Chain A
Amino acid sequence: MDLDKPKKIFIVDDDTMLTEALKDYLTRRTLNEIRIFNTGEECLKHLTAKPDVIILDYYLNSVQKDAADGMEILQVIRKHYPDIHVIMLSSQDHYAIALQTLQKGAEQYVIKDKEAFGKIESMIRELN
């Protein structure tokens, strides 16, 4: 029996393999409701759906050049929806960037590596 309450989760990343894999991973055990957005702008349009958690990539403009980057999106989310949990996802193993995102209101900062999915899952579980 898994007592985890299902959550509404937005995944924002332009890496399609990642979003797919993360979606799979987060729905293996729990009936989480996952929505995937390849740009931050898309995600912002759907914020009224009030997700519990947003998993947000740091670099969001590697595919669409004129897209806003993760930090900008983070700030918009924070301004209008201070209650939504944001987990920042990045391949940058840099203290400065981690610090920056946390200062801007991200709850967690996860480096994209093999352990990333596991970490994200446990973080979401801890939000209960």
Chain B
Amino acid sequence: MKKRAILFIAISILAIQVSPQKQGQARIDSLQQLIPKAKEDSNKVKLLNNLSFTYYKINSDEGIKLGMQSLSLAEKLHWKQGIVKANDVLGVNYHFGKADYPKALEYYLQSLKISEESGDKPDIARALNRLGLIYQSLIDYPKALGYYHRSLQVARETGDKMAMQQVMIDIGEVCQKQNDFPKALDYFNQALKINQAIGNKTGCAAALNTIGYVYRRQRDFSKAQYYCNEAVKYYEAAGNKLAMAAELEDIGDLYRQLAEYPKALGYLFKALQIQKELNDKRSISYNYGVIGYTYFLIATDKNKSTLNILFAGNRKATIRIAKIYADSAVEIQKELGDLYLLQDTYISISQAWEQIGDYKGALERYKDYVAIKDSIFNVEKDKKLTQLSMKYEFAKRQATDSLQHAVENNLNKIRLQKQKTFTWLGFIGMALVGFLLFFVFRNYNNQRKSNRKLQAAQKEILEQKNRAEQSERFKQQFLANMSHEIRTPMNAVMGMTNLLIDKDPRADQQHYLDGIKKSSDILLHIINDILDLSKIESGKMELEKTDFLIRETVEQVVTTLHHKADEKGLRLLSDVGNDIPGVLLGDPVRINQILMNLAGNAIKFTEKGSVLISVTFTGSSPSHLLNLRFSVTDTGIGIPKDKLEKVFESFAQANASDTRKYGGTGLGLSISRQLVELYGGEITIESEEGAGTTFSFILSLEEGSVERLQQQLNSVANVDGHILDGLKILIADDNEYNRIVAEDTLKSKADVFITTASDGHEAIALLKKHYFDLILMDVQMPEMNGFEATQFIRANMDPLKKDIPVIALTASVLRTDLDKCRQAGMNSYIPKPFNAAQLIRGIAEVLGIEIGIAADICGKNVEGTSVSGKVTDLTYLRNFCEEDAGKMNRYITMFLESAPVLTEKINTAFAEDDFIEIANQLHGFKTRFIMMGMKDTGERALIQELKCRRDPGNGNIGRELNLILGEIETAVKELSEKTS
């Protein structure tokens, strides 16, 4: 019953009258009838002005037409007051009707000028007030306040109380907008007093309303309520229904904020009724929005009392009504073209829908909101432009005015002199004035010229800046593309090489594979070099701070390069000073990179002798930093003095021909130098041609912590793939080879279930049909790329699936691309090319699986048999059965019956190499081992079960299985004795 009643109310409210605005139209009709009857032309002007003023809200085009008629008539009559008023109504039509501020300003200024000439103070006060209003519209508050205060001054002089209270309210409003609440209240209260004194009810109401608003903004709701209610009374007394409705709506809104929904609705509907009588669509639409929102709040409020009382607890029906109101608000606002109102409505609806889980609706409204926001942005931009151009016009006018002023002054002087004497002095004066004028104009011209020059220069600078930025963007884009284009196939090459090496290749195959592996490592190294350089140059390179073993880092360089040194018969040596602590805090990867570049270079340019990498302690700084001197000394060809600086330039080697001879990108030294500079150091070179070169640099590093390092090593070393066992993973990649690499790499380390997709659409289709724990998503795919697919999943999938973790597989390592991943809603990324450990760690991190938590069961000592002689222990069973012999016998019998079956099945499966079957059989016996107290056998069985599932190729399984089956046989003997 109640539900139907609510719907009925809602629908009846929605029937909006289509008739035109009654009140305004009636006034216009009566005025129009009067015009032809007006005998005196001045009366006609008055009527036209009134009519024009009435039109500004309804049809400003008509208003402007009438205003122009009035203006020309008044001018013909030379009736200044009429001209002033005509300018004023034209200004009002342009200001409030058309929002054409420059035009409005022009008319207002004209109105001010003429009223000042005629000295009509009320007109002056009004014009000043209008000017304040226009600057308030343009959010230029200081200017607005300036005009308001001038207007107030003039009104005070004449004692025009009406004008005074109006300006006071305007000033208070600006103060309120600037958050100066005490001042605002002061002005509003003054206005209220004046209005009360002169018995101006509408004025009182307006003042009360503004006071209420200030209290509301200060969240003093009880005061706000009091003043709003007072305002309603005055509006009602004054018969101003529109304002009264607005006031009632405000009170309703207040109660809504206080969560007193029944009261809120009461006021809102009262307001709506009046607004409908007046057919004021703007207010109606706004009120619809507020009512809809209130319904929504009632429906979603945790405190269900209102919902229960008003709507019999019917949440769905209440939400449906909220929707009807909201949609009606949107309809009307669209019709009115009120962007600001629409914007507010859209975002409120979107948020509301989101809150109740109607994501599709929320998204649609959000899209609407964004579209409106864009168009509002354009409008605001236009406003800002208008403001700027007005400032410019104003300054220009001032400049011309002062120029004219100067000229007029001079001409006046000349006239005076002329009158006094007609002597030659006059001619001299004229000549002087001529000169003066000449200079003034020349100055003016020069200024214009230099202005023009300045503007041109600025324009050029701006263009250059744009060009530079664009080329930088191109460079970044190019690097990102190249990085991606090369890394994608590199991922396949390196991944498949690793997979092949793991498959026990023949010796000759191993040799080739090592070749591929090494070459691809080098290729990746070169790509990384290029990317590093661009990172450093764009200031995006950051040094890490981790604990590392300095001796190991240096030793690594030696290990990596000693083959090269050996090939050339060179000795490669390293020496780290005894006084240097073992663990330091810094970026080992970068330090390794620098030393690798320097030492690699040294080997390249040395034909015989040795290359020495040494680290020496040179003292500590006050802040406990250790100053370490790293140097790489060779006995090579040396570098000519004039080329010492050049070696650091990118792509440069001492001789161009060296590139062919020695290879390399020529980036190594350049990168090394910049990395050292990032550490605040500098690379120095000492070189003697033919005797050798020493590159050295000093780094200031903190001493590291052994404990931290140990933890770090532990967490990295034992990445056990089996922590991922049982996961269902979807891999989306357009490159078939990369799919294979990702799938096989994961499968080689864990028992995971893999499904693959070749683009975003396919991935989404699969996700819709099946369940997955995680998606590995390539970023660049045809049709629908990884970002789009992820966004789609996040926005449109059903709630159970939309939050599925997505890891980006990206060949790009540029920050901007990684940011894009996050923006698209991806949880993490794994850079290509990746190795198994990176992949496992990446997945584990996203799923919150602790790395290394699963101890390597297979690694446990599995040798050695039970020494107690007995494999069974019935303590557990006895406790379990609470000494009930009958029950105990039942379980023992179950075991005895199933044991031979197990033995047979395992033997058969083993003969058929069906390891999964063996695992299943062992698994099915687990409880039996527990019940019969066969602890050791149970553990052994578990280990073998896992081995069978993961690593069945291992030759030990047969022996272990025999051991288990032997123990089961022994158990059967032991248990048979018990039962018999």
Residue positions of A touching B, CB distance < 8 A: 14-18, 20-21, 24-25, 28, 59, 62-63, 75, 91-97, 99-100, 112-114, 117
Do the beta carbons of A17 and B895 come within 8 Å of each other?
Answer: yes
Give Cα A112 to B928, complex, Å.
11
The yes or no answer to B598 lying at the interface (CB within 8 A) is no
> Which 9 pairs show the lowest CB-CB distances between chains A and B?
A62-B920, A18-B927, A17-B927, A96-B849, A17-B928, A97-B726, A62-B923, A15-B927, A62-B924
Nearest CB on B from A118, distance (A): 10
Binary contact track B780-796/A, C-beta < 8 Å → 1, others 0: 00000000000000000
Cβ 8 A contact of A17, one of B722, B726, B727, B891: B891
The docked-state distance in angstroms from the alpha carbon of A128 to that of B921 is 37
Q: Does B773 contact A (CB under 8 A)?
A: yes
Residues in B neighbouring A18, C-beta threshold 8 A: 926-927
Let me know if A96 and B926 touch, CB within 8 A. no
> For the complex, is B723 an interface residue (Cβ under 8 Å from A)?
yes
B319 at the interface (CB under 8 A from A): no
Q: Considering the complex, which residues of chain B in the window 911-928 have a beta carbon less than 8 Å from any beta carbon of chain A?
A: 919-921, 923-924, 926-928
How many chain B residues touch A (CB < 8 A): the figure is: 36
Contact at A96–B920, with CB atoms within 8 Å?
no
Are B924 and A99 in contact (CB-based, < 8 A)?
A: no
Q: Give chain A residues whose Cβ lies under 8 Å from the Cβ of B393.
A: none
Q: Which of chain A's residues have a CB closer than 8 A to the CB of B894?
A: 16-17, 20
Per-residue A-contact encoding for B345-366, CB less than 8 Å = 1, 0 else:
0000000000000000000000
A45 nearest CB across to chain B (Å): 22
In the complex, what distance in Å separates the CA atom of A92 from the CA atom of B921? 15
Q: Are B725 and A92 touching (Cβ within 8 A)?
A: yes
Indicate if the CB atoms of B771 and A75 lie closer than 8 Å.
yes
Cα-based distance from A62 to B876 in the complex (angstroms) = 26
Chain A residues with Cβ below 8 Å from B921 are 62
> How far apart sit A74 and B895, CA to CA, in the bound complex (Å)?
30
Note all chain A residues with C-beta closer than 8 A to B881.
24
The main secondary structure of chain B at its interface with chain A is helix
Q: In whole angstroms, how far apart are the Cα atoms of A21 and B850 in the complex?
A: 33
B217 to chain A, nearest CB (A): 46
CB-CB under 8 A from A20, the residues of chain B are 890-891, 894
A73 to chain B, nearest CB (A): 12
Contact with A along B846-859 (1 / 0, CB 8 A): 01111001100000
Query: A63 to B928, alpha carbons, bound, how many Å?
Result: 15
Q: Is there contact, CB below 8 Å, between A14 and B725?
A: no
* A14-B924 in contact (CB<8A): yes
Of the candidates B726, B928, B930, which one forms a contact with A113 in the assembled complex, judged by CB atoms under 8 Å apart?
Answer: B930
Excluding A95-B723, A100-B726, 9 further A-B contacts by CB distance (< 8 Å) are A20-B894, A24-B880, A63-B924, A91-B923, A91-B942, A95-B850, A99-B847, A100-B773, A113-B930
- Shortest beta-carbon distance from A76 to chain B in Å: 11
Q: Which residues of B contact A75 (CB under 8 A)?
A: 771
The distance in angstroms between the C-alpha atoms of A18 and B895, with both chains bound, is 11
Q: Which residues of A contact B565 (CB under 8 A)?
A: none
In the complex, which residues of chain B have a beta carbon less than 8 angstroms from the beta carbon of A16?
894, 898
Closest-CB distance, A125 to chain B (whole angstroms): 18
Q: Distance (Å) between the CB of A23 and the closest chain B CB?
A: 12
Residue of B at shortest CB range from A93?
A: B854
CA distance A54 to B181 in the complex (A): 65
Residue B504 CB within 8 A of the other chain: no
B882 engages A99 (CB within 8 Å): no
Per the bound structure, the CA–CA distance linking A114 and B931 in Å amounts to: 8
B92 within 8 Å of A by Cβ?
no
User: Which single residue of chain B is at the shortest CB-CB distance from A59?
Assistant: B923
The contact sample of 25 A-B pairs, CB cut-off 8 A, is A15-B924, A15-B927, A17-B928, A20-B894, A24-B880, A24-B881, A28-B882, A62-B919, A62-B920, A62-B921, A63-B924, A75-B771, A91-B926, A91-B942, A94-B722, A94-B723, A94-B725, A95-B723, A95-B853, A95-B854, A99-B848, A100-B773, A112-B930, A113-B930, A117-B880
* Interface membership of B231, Cβ < 8 A: no
Please indicate the chain A residues that have their CB under 8 angstroms from the CB of B891 in the complex.
17, 20-21
- Chain A min CB distance to B842 (Å): 14
Chain B residues contacting A28 (CB-CB under 8 Å) are: 882
- Inter-chain CA distance A95–B854, complex, in Å, is 8
The residues of B that contact A14 with a CB separation of less than 8 Å are 924
A112 to B931, CA, bound (A): 12
CA distance A24 to B882 in the complex (A): 11
CA–CA, A9 and B880, complex, Å: 20
Give the distance to chain A from B941, nearest Cβ to Cβ, in Å: 10
Nearest A residue to B935 via CB reads A114
How distant is A1 from chain B, measured CB to nearest CB, in Å? 19
> Chain A contacts of B727 at CB under 8 A?
96, 100
Cα distance A117–B931 when bound, in Å? 12
Does B724 have its Cβ within 8 Å of any Cβ on chain A? Answer: yes
Given that A17-B895, A21-B891 are known contacts, is A94 also in contact with B854, CB under 8 Å in the complex? yes
Cα distance A66–B723 in the bound complex, in angstroms: 25
- Give Cα A59 to B844, complex, Å: 22
Contacting pair A96 B923 (CB below 8 A)? no
Q: Quick one: which of A62, A92, A93 contacts B726, CB cutoff 8 A?
A: A92
Q: Is B887 an interface residue (CB 8 A)?
A: yes
A96 touches B726 (CB 8 A): yes
CA distance A62 to B880 in the complex (A): 26
Q: Which residues of chain B come closer than 8 Å to A96, judged between CB atoms?
A: 723-727, 844, 847, 849
A14 to chain B, nearest CB (A): 7
Instruction: Count chain B CB atoms within 10 A of each CB in A21, A24, A96, A100 and give the residue with the most.
Output: A96
Q: Which residues of B contact A62 (CB under 8 A)?
A: 919-921, 923-924
Contact of A63 with B920 in the complex, beta carbons under 8 Å: yes
In the assembled complex, the CB of A104 is this many whole angstroms from the nearest CB of chain B, namely 8
Of A28, A112, A114, chain B has the most CB atoms within 10 Å of the CB of: A114
CB nearest neighbor in A for B725:
A94
Scan B878-901; emit 1 where CB is below 8 A from any A CB, else 0.
001110000100110011001000
A25 near B880 with CB under 8 A, answer yes
The residue on B at minimum CB distance from A104 is B771
Closest chain-A Cβ to B957's Cβ sits at a distance in Å of 18
Q: Is the CB of B927 within 8 A of A94?
A: no
B723 x A112 contact (CB < 8 A): no
Name the one of B773, B849, B876 contacting A114, with C-beta atoms under 8 angstroms.
Answer: B876
**A113 / chain B contacts, CB cutoff of 8 Å:** 930
Q: How far is the CA of A128 from the CA of B881 in the complex (A)?
A: 26
- In the assembly, what is the distance between CA of A113 and CA of B876, in Å? 12
